[in-house]
Amino acid sequence: MADIKTKDFSKASAVSILDPQLRRALRQVGTGFDAARRAAIDEVSPEIWDEWREEARRIKVHSLDHLDYYLDLLEQNVTKAGGHVHFAKDAAQANDIMGELVRTRNIKVATKSKSMVSEELSLNPALEAQGVDVYETDLGEYIIQLAEETPFHLVAPALHKTKEQVAQLFTDKLGIPYNDDINALAAAARLALREKFILADLGISGANFLVAETGTLVIITNEGNGRLSTSAPRIHVGITGMEKVIPSLQDLAVFLRLLPRSATGQGITSYVSMVTGPRRADDEDGPEEFHLIIVDNGRSKMLADPDLREALYCIRCGACLNICPVYQKVGGHAYGWVYPGPIGAIVTPSLVGLKEAQDLPQASSLCGACREVCPVNINIPRMLLHLRQKSAESPDPSERSAGLVPNLLAGSYTRVMRSPALLSASHKLGRWKQNVWAAMPFFPFSKKGGMIRKASLPLLSRWTRMRDLPELPKDTFRDIWKKELSKDKEGH
């Protein structure tokens, strides 16, 4: 499995949020991808867009509710087309399958187009350990492969890099003269990878959709590397999560309308490639063998949990990342594993363990913008809340992680709020403390003009380091009501 750094979220996010370059890159996400998405939706009309979303969701609900049936149908039809389907229950097994294929087919060079699942598996190091030269060919993935980093965004993995950084990277790793013109950088990548496409024995791809009816793997791309990786080498292996299957080829239409628009604001990508088995005998070119590796790696757990199943409807468009104010502040790496952003805050804990990734569902203000933009209407905030419930209350110790202090605080809060008398007393106590502390000469507490300006005390200090806090007023609404308004009422 890919390195899990989810425990570092607090620290990592505190650092990334201050990085001026990340700030610049992330600020562009709102004016870039998100603005393009909105324009694309306006072009089709919000009414039609919502119809498409409902249709897409219906298809996903049905597909996942009957996942066993459709995986079976898919396997039959891929096999009928001359392909081979392999089922992997976890990352280790998926890598073993790849390893076996690589060994028995004598693979030396592999070109790879984007696959998020392969990141879960840490596939590249596993292949390299077997002596295979693996080349990421998606420009963003190529850049982070050279930089030895993980993806920063679902759709644009190298979103965080400036062109200057990419130029320096290319100079260092490819030995070419420094040139930070973006067109020149793309041309350099084209040149460097051209011969790899032709040399490669193996092409690896992910899958955006799997069509059960015809046994077809669908990838939606812009650069052309997807086409080359699935056409030039003698073997093509598609690696996919098991949730990608849809029933009929006819169902594909609505997803082709939703995904490019949600992701980058395009009406359609430059290429949509549909693979149904290996080449046929009379084809001019194409792989002699087609293998599909279908991976579980924890998805059956999500499927089994009615609160989490929805997250499997995700079509990986990245719209939730682009709109999320938290993602826009901390960036993709802080999330510590393969999937960042709102959907990542659900998928990552579900696949690596909630205790391990407990911060992710908590690091949200539950603003709901993600749900608003999701093309399949996934209720992300609802699932974040349910994960929080598991963290606080689950009888399963591998899920529950709420510590003593939060539990005590929750308990005290409940106790006070169950009793108006206690609440009233707490208010009076708070007022008294406020005034006493403010009056003490060297105590780290000060207020002015009705606002607390400094309170270097546990918890309070987290608020007051950058914000003022209104002080507890002398009279609560209850007091005012009792004194003034009930008098008024009686007076009428």
Partner 1 sequence: MDRSLGVPKAEFLDSVRRSLDRKPAAPDPAYPRLLDGVSSLQEEAQRIRARINENRPALLDRFAEVAEVRGWNVHRTSDPENAMAHIQSLADSLGVKNAVRSDQEVFGQILVDAPLESTGINVTTVSHGPDRSREFLRSSIIAADIGLTGADYAVAETGSVIVMPRKGMSRLVSVVPPVHLALVRPEDLVESLDDLFLLRRLEYHEKGGEMGSYLNFITGPSRTADIEQTLVVGVHGPKEVHLVLLG
Partner 2 sequence: MDVSFQEDQTCCGQPLYNAGYSKKARTLARRVLDTFKDSEYVVVPSGSCAAMMRVFYLDLFRDDPKMLKQAELLSSKVYEFSQFLTSVLGVEDTGSTYSGTATYHPSCHLLREMEVRDEPETLLRSVSGLELTDLPGAETCCGFGGAFSIKFPHISEGMLADKVENVVSTGADTLVSCDMGCLMQIGGGLSRQDSDIKVRHLAQVLDQDQSSNS
Binding site for partner 2 (CB under 8 A): 10, 13-14, 17, 325-326, 329-330, 362-369, 371-372, 382, 385, 387-393, 402, 406, 410-411, 413-414, 416-420, 423, 449, 451, 453, 459, 462-463, 465-470, 477-478, 481-482, 485
Instruction: Give which of partner 2, partner 1, none residue 376 binds (C-beta under 5 to 8 Å, depending on kind).
Output: none
Tell me how far, at minimum, the Cβ of 245 lies from partner 1, in Å.
11
C-beta of 251 vs 359, nearer to partner 1:
251
| 198 vs 176: CA distance, rounded Å | 21
Cα separation, 142 vs 349, whole angstroms: 27
Nearer to partner 1, 251 or 471 (CB): 251
CB 80 within 8 A of CB 213: no
Letters for 321-360 (x = contact with partner 1 by CB under 8 A, - = none) are ----------------------------------------
Residue 248: name its binding partner from partner 2, partner 1, none (Cβ under 5 to 8 Å by kind): partner 1
Report if residue 202 touches partner 1, rule: CB under 8 A. Answer: no
Give the interface segment with partner 1, choosing from 45-53, 68-76, 415-423, 432-440 (CB under 8 A): 68-76
Residue closer to partner 2 by CB (options 196, 390) is 390
Query: Amino acid letter at 41?
Result: I
Calculate the alpha carbon distances from 15 to 9, 12, 301, 349, 439 in Å: 10, 5, 33, 22, 36
Q: Which stretch binds partner 1 (CB under 8 A): 288-296, 393-401, 430-438, 463-471?
A: 288-296
**With CB under 8 A as the contact rule, which of the stretches 71-79, 400-408, 451-459, 474-482 interacts with partner 1?**
71-79
Partner whose footprint covers residue 433, from partner 2, partner 1, none (CB < 5 to 8 Å by kind): none
Q: Which does 296 bind (CB under 5 to 8 A by kind): partner 1, partner 2, none?
A: partner 1
Contact status: 133 vs partner 1 (CB under 8 A) = no
Question: How many residues interact with partner 1 (rule CB under 8 A)?
Answer: 103
- For the segment 152-181, give every residue that binds partner 1 (CB under 8 A): 156-159, 161-163, 166
Which entry of partner 1, partner 2, none binds 293, CB below 5 to 8 A by partner kind? Answer: partner 1
> What is the C-alpha separation between 259 and 138, in angstroms, rounded?
18
Give the other-Cβ count within 10 Å of 287's Cβ: 24
The answer to whether 300 contacts partner 1 (rule: CB under 8 A) is: yes
Q: Which residue, 211 or 345, is less far from partner 1 as judged by CB? A: 211
Q: E strand or H helix at 300, and its extent?
A: helix 299-304
Nearer to partner 1, 257 or 427 (CB): 257
Selected binder of partner 1 within 168, 171, 179, 231 (CB under 8 A): 231
| Helices and strands (DSSP H and E) totals, the chain | 25, 13
Coil vs helix vs strand at 218: strand
Among residues 7, 23, 66, 431, the one that binds partner 1 under rule CB under 8 A: 66
459 binds, among partner 2, partner 1, none (CB under 5 to 8 A by kind): partner 2
293 binds partner 1 (CB under 8 A): yes
Alpha carbons 469 and 176: distance in angstroms, whole number = 56
Stretch that binds partner 1, among 224-232, 357-365, 384-392, 476-484 (CB under 8 A): 224-232
Looking at the Cβ atoms of 184 and 438, the one nearer to partner 1 is 184
Are 279 and 285 spatial neighbours (Cβ–Cβ below 8 Å)? yes
Q: Is 214 in the site for partner 1 (CB under 8 A)?
A: yes
Q: Which two tokens stand for residue 161?
A: 């890099």
Choices 69-77, 367-375, 409-417, 435-443 (CB under 8 A): range interacting with partner 1: 69-77
Helix axes 252-264, 46-65, angle to 10 degrees: 120
* Residue keyed to tokens 């007022």: 431
Q: What are the CB-based long-range contacts (under 8 Å, 24+) for 36-42?
A: 36/264, 36/265, 36/266, 37/261, 37/262, 37/263, 37/264, 37/265, 37/319, 37/322, 37/373, 38/265, 39/265, 40/261, 40/265, 40/266, 40/267, 41/261
Which CB, 296 or 399, lies closer to partner 1? 296
Share in percent of the chain as helix, strand, coil (round to 5): 55, 10, 35
Collect all residues with Cβ–Cβ distance below 8 Å to 215 and sequence separation of at least 6: 74, 75, 76, 77, 78, 79, 80, 81, 83, 276, 277
**Pairing relationship of beta strands 216-221 and 271-275 according to DSSP bridges:** antiparallel
Tokens of 457: 């005390």
